Amino acid sequence: MNNILLLASNIHKSFHSGNEEIRVLLGADLSIEEGDFVSINGPSGSGKSTLLHILGGLQHPDKGKVVLDGKPLYSHSDRELAEIRNEKIGFIFQFHYLLSDFTVIENVMIPLLIKGKRKKEAQEKAKELLSMVDLTNRAHHRPKTLSGGERQRVAVLRAVINEPSLLLADEPTGDLDWAHTNTILQMLTDLNINKGMTIIIVTHNKRVAKIAKKTYNLIEGRLEEKNEM
Ligand SMILES: Nc1ncnc2c1ncn2[C@@H]1O[C@H](COP(=O)(O)OP(=O)(O)OP(=O)(O)O)[C@@H](O)[C@H]1O
Ligand SMILES: [Mg+2]
């Protein structure tokens, strides 16, 4: 058995809107080993994105614990959390969140620059990744001029360029056609197998469920492991 990389226990989260309380997570538990490839399914609104944000250090749970590399994630200061995110966690957001003032290639390069890599090196790496997803000719365009699927591919590259030890991917192929979905899934599989990257992916894509070593369903605020048929 491999080391446990990420442990989430008894995660609770509610949102408040007006007088109403929206109870989303009601005691979710998850244990992820180094090198795991895990997929999470669940109906729209069941809390998948909320859970990923909590696992990735982006949103405090109301109750419960997230432990990354043996340390409680939310015991760190906000600044330390930001450093951990940049160093260890790659996040592919469901709604992409590219930086609109930067070009496509700059968006992809940013994590390497933050890490202190030289511009030339970051550029070379970003170019190589862009060519893998057919975006070479878009490198110097702004995100707002791209289609949804093109933006999604940029968001994937930005999340993986640092080769984080943990990749959290929120519907990373939701806006893509069949061919680009294959390219991205192949890229994630390579990173998992060849670089040992641990991946947690939220998706409805049936093929992902086949690649993933384990699949969980998020139902009524808790995770249930889905047994293979
Ligand atoms: N900041 C917020 N304020 C109020 N309600 C929120 C907030 N964020 C999420 N919610 C609510 O929490 C619930 C879970 O949202 P979440 O985005 O985690 O669902 P999801 O499973 O990712 O859905 P989808 O498959 O549509 O992406 C939804 O009912 C949503 O409206
Ligand atoms: Mg979502």
What is the per-residue burial (b if ≥16 Cβ within 10 Å, else e) of 65-100?
ebbbeeeebbeeeeeebeebbeebbbbbbbebebee
Query: Judging by beta carbons within 10 Å of its beta carbon (0-12, 13-18, 19+), is residue 35 exposed, middle or buried?
Result: middle
Instruction: Give the pLDDT confidence score for residue 207 in this predicted structure.
Output: 82
Yes or no: is domain 37-46+78-226 CATH 3.40.50.300? Answer: yes
Query: At residue 200, does pLDDT exceed 70?
Result: yes
Neighbours of 112 (CB within 10 A): 19
CA of 204 to the centre of ligand 2 (A): 11
Q: Which of 24, 94, 217 has most ligand 1 atoms within 8 Å of its beta carbon, as the pocket-test mutant?
A: 24
Instruction: Give the pLDDT confidence score for residue 113 in this predicted structure.
Output: 95
What single DSSP character describes residue 95?
Answer: T
CA of 180 to the centre of ligand 2 (A): 21
Q: Distance between CA 85 and CA 81 in Å, rounded?
A: 6
Residue ranges of domains in the chain: 37-46+78-226
Instruction: Give the pLDDT confidence score for residue 211 in this predicted structure.
Output: 84
CB 180 within 8 A of CB 134: yes
Query: At residue 38, does pLDDT exceed 70?
Result: yes
Q: How confident is the model over 92-105, as a mean pLDDT?
A: 94
184-194: pLDDT as tens digits: 999 999 999 99
- 221 in ligand 1 pocket by Cβ < 6 Å? no
Reduced to 3 states (helix: H, G, I; strand: E, B; else coil), residue 99 is coil
> Ligand nearest 25 Cα, by number?
1
Neighbouring residues of 207: CB distance < 8 A, sequence distance ≥ 6: 181, 185
Helix (H) or strand (E) holding 116: none
Q: How confident is the model over 9-23, as a mean pLDDT?
A: 95
128-170: pLDDT as tens digits: 999 999 999 999 999 999 999 999 999 999 999 999 999 999 9
Q: Distance between CA 229 and CA 227 in Å, rounded?
A: 6
Point out the ligand 1 atom lying closest to the alpha carbon of residue 218.
21
- 219 in ligand 1 pocket by Cβ < 6 Å? no
CB 92 within 8 A of CB 168: yes
26-37: pLDDT as tens digits: 999 999 999 999
Q: How confident is the model over 171-196, as a mean pLDDT?
A: 93
Instruction: Give the pLDDT confidence score for residue 42 in this predicted structure.
Output: 93
The position carrying tokens 């993986």 is 160
The mean of the pLDDT values for the chain is: 94
Instruction: Give the pLDDT confidence score for residue 206 in this predicted structure.
Output: 81
Instruction: Give the pLDDT confidence score for residue 228 in this predicted structure.
Output: 60
The count of C-alpha atoms lying within 13 angstroms of the C-alpha of 184, restricted to the half-sphere facing its C-beta, is 30
CA 69 to chain centre: 17
Band of residue 1 on the pLDDT scale cut at 50, 70, 90: low
4 DSSP β-pair partners: 33
Reduced to 3 states (helix: H, G, I; strand: E, B; else coil), residue 65 is strand
Neighbours of 37 (CB within 10 A): 21
Q: How confident is the model over 50-64, as a mean pLDDT?
A: 96
Query: At residue 229, does pLDDT exceed 90?
Result: no
Q: Distance between CA 34 and CA 52 in Å, rounded?
A: 17
